[in-house]
């Protein structure tokens, strides 16, 4: 049976002082019954990985380049991230798709690079408010899923995160029925492409204003295998209750 996953995306937040939060998570979750992933800024990956070296907590990155090396000033390759101690990388987050004009094809190329480097690719999908209000949510999800997942994706090397853009950092959360509808739809699409059994191996995370107060009901929703948490993952006092809700 696949283990559930609580993943934290620190985004562009965190300095060396923030490593105290990682230490707190390590001490507070010595033997978790779910997987825990923290994705700090790249400047902290090596130090965070060192802190978690004897812990079940995994450290990840927030993006990677599709090439293993080359003339790409300011970019980081998947092999570099693995060398720094990362075990996973977030790809295709809406903030990357919107602010950096990343296409689904680019995300797929990055996912293949991540797989080649031995990293788990956490591939993000999600619709805008206009797309939701226009009843295009499932069309958007289908298009992003088809374009962002390489053929070599498996439940072992890939995690999918549904993050409705309009719910990220807004305090707004879709209804449980809306979350369940999209997660069920993603599972069905995976089944059509990879087969019913293989589809069950993929972990489907929900992300978008997940907080200690709403985590339990979200985790009880159909086909939700965990969460990709933004702001609430910056402090162990906020993230730990979410982890415990997933363990319940």
- Structural domains in the chain? 5-247 (3.20.20.70)
Q: What pLDDT was estimated at residue 223?
A: 97
Q: What sign for the dihedral angle of Cα 229, 234, 236, 237? A: negative
**pTM confidence score:** 0.97
* DSSP strand pairing (203-206 vs 88-91): unpaired
- d(C-alpha 204, C-alpha 5), whole Å: 9
Band (pLDDT 50/70/90 cuts) for residue 180 is very high
Report yes or no: 34 and 226 within 8 Å, Cβ to Cβ: yes
Paired with 8 in beta bridges are: 38, 229
Report yes or no: 239 and 232 within 8 Å, Cβ to Cβ: yes
Paired with 48 in beta bridges are: none
Paired with 128 in beta bridges are: none
* Res 169 pLDDT > 80: no
The active-site residue, picked from 21, 95, 127, 163, is 163
pLDDT tens, residue by residue, 7-26:
999 999 999 999 999 999 99
Q: In the predicted model, what is the mean pLDDT of residues 222-238? A: 97
CA distances from 120 to 67, 154, 245 (A): 16, 10, 24
Q: What pLDDT was estimated at residue 1?
A: 72
Q: Is 93 in the active site?
A: yes
Q: What is the mean pLDDT of the chain?
A: 96
Band (pLDDT 50/70/90 cuts) for residue 172 is confident
pLDDT tens, residue by residue, 61-88:
999 999 999 999 999 999 999 999 999 9
The active-site residue, picked from 29, 65, 93, 183, is 93
pLDDT tens, residue by residue, 196-205:
999 999 999 9
Say which residue, 68 or 133, is predicted with more confidence.
68
Q: In the predicted model, what is the mean pLDDT of residues 163-184? A: 90
Q: What pLDDT was estimated at residue 136?
A: 96
- d(C-alpha 44, C-alpha 42), whole Å: 5
- d(C-alpha 114, C-alpha 105), whole Å: 14
Name every residue whose Cβ is closer than 8 Å to that of residue 98 and which is 6 or more positions away in sequence: 165
Helix (H, G, I), strand (E, B) or coil at 8: strand
Q: What sign for the dihedral angle of Cα 229, 92, 96, 11? A: positive
Report yes or no: 200 and 208 within 8 Å, Cβ to Cβ: no
Q: What pLDDT was estimated at residue 208?
A: 87
* Res 31 pLDDT > 80: yes
The DSSP code for 47 is: H
Q: Is 29 in the active site?
A: no
Helix (H, G, I), strand (E, B) or coil at 214: coil
* Res 143 pLDDT > 90: yes
- d(C-alpha 209, C-alpha 220), whole Å: 16
């Amino acid at each position: 049976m696949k283990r559930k996953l609580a993943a934290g995306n620190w985004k562009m937040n965190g300095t060396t002082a923030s490593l105290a939060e990682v230490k707190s998570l390590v001490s507070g979750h010595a033997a978790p019954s779910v997987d825990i992933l923290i994705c700090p800024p790249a400047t902290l990956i090596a130090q965070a990985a060192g802190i978690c070296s004897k812990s079940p907590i995994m450290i990840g990155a927030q993006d990677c380049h599709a090439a293993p090396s080359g003339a790409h000033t300011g970019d980081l390759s998947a092999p570099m991230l693995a060398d720094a101690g990362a075990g996973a990388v977030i790809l295709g987050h809406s903030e990357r798709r919107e602010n950096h004009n990343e296409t689904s094809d680019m995300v797929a190329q990055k996912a293949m690079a991540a797989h080649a480097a031995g990293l788990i690719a956490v591939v993000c999908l999600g619709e805008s408010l206009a797309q939701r209000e226009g009843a295009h949510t499932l069309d958007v999800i289908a298009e992003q899923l088809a374009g962002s997942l390489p053929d070599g994706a498996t439940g072992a090397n890939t995690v999918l995160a549904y993050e409705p853009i309009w719910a990220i950092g807004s305090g707004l959360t879709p209804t449980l029925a809306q979350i369940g509808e999209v997660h069920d739809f993603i599972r069905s699409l995976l089944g059509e492409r990879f087969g019913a059994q293989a589809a069950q191996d993929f972990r489907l995370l929900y992300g978008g204003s997940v907080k200690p107060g709403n985590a339990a009901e979200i985790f009880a929703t159909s086909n939700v295998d965990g969460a990709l948490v933004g702001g609430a993952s910056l402090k162990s006092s906020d993230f730990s209750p979410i982890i415990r809700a997933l363990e319940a």
